[in-house]
Amino acid sequence: MANNKRTAMILAAGLGTRLQTLTQDRPKALVTLNGKPLLQHIIENLIGNGFHHIVINVHHFAYQIKDFIATHPFDADIVISDESALLLDTGGGIVKATPLFKDADCVLVHNVDIISNVDLQALAEAFQHSNDDAWLLTQQRNSTRKLLFDSQGLLQGWMHQTEDRFKWVNRAAKNYTELSFSGIHFFKPDLFSPYQEQPASVIDLYLDLAKQKTIRSVEIHPDYWYDLGKPEQLANAAAFLNTLPT
């Protein structure tokens, strides 16, 4: 087995309510895309990009994910971070899993409902050679929620466009670039260690960390990127992937 210096965490604990009936009897992670569970797509992609230590957080139908991992051998050391007792949201889940990152040089977090061909291996190598504390992979695309960055690419705030609502790292900024979060980010293994284990949004934690840490945007331009949170998005991704050569 490869060493654990490069760790990935898959966020798979969510309720998946936007997928409606598809998640009534299974977790979102085990909803299928072209006959294969989303979780398997992500695990295989991570292994292909050089990640052989993988942490998966679970809550909704947690036992199904545990059974899936137990019965499907992968070329990776896969560890479960169990949130069955309390769903901790994206940030709290990372805080709970922080002790599992202790042997890593860097940590990649990947939402279970994101499918793309982002070159994660090249980004991991670049991040490890940087002096930054975290990279948030961002895009120029339509979304109601935006991350706000200064001219150096440093996190300044967050906004909800339709509700005209803002959160700031420090004071309100006048000049900023609006970018959409891709659901993928890199950080130093101990970045979240100061926080208590409780429900929290990872964006809120990053806004707090950015007061003292270097939290930077890295804009990505993959050939494809799909958020699979809704049935129609799942169908669109399935149709596109069927057009790719095998």
Q: pLDDT tens digits, residue range 123-165?
A: 999 999 999 999 999 999 999 999 999 999 999 999 999 999 9
Pick the closest to residue 93 from 228, 197, 18 (CA basis): 197
Give the pLDDT score at 246. Answer: 73
Is the pLDDT confidence value at 2 over 50? no
Is the pLDDT confidence value at 3 over 70? no
Cut 0.85: pTM above it: yes
What would the mean pLDDT of 93-106 be, rounded to a whole number? 96
- Nearest 5°: CA angle at 232, between 20 and 163? 80
What would the mean pLDDT of 110-122 be, rounded to a whole number? 98
Tens digits of residue pLDDT in 202-243:
999 999 999 999 999 999 999 999 999 999 999 999 999 999
Which CATH fold would you assign to the domain 6-241?
Answer: Spore Coat Polysaccharide Biosynthesis Protein SpsA; Chain A (3.90.550)
Q: Tell me the residue type at 244.
A: L
Q: 242: buried, middle or exposed (CB in 10 Å: 19+, 13-18, 0-12)?
A: exposed
Pick the closest to residue 144 from 129, 159, 125, 166 (CA basis): 159
Give 18 or 5, the one with higher predicted confidence: 18
What ranges do the domains of the chain cover?
6-241
Is the pLDDT confidence value at 4 over 70? no
Give the pLDDT score at 1. Answer: 41
Report the C-alpha gap between 79 and 67 in whole angstroms.
Answer: 13
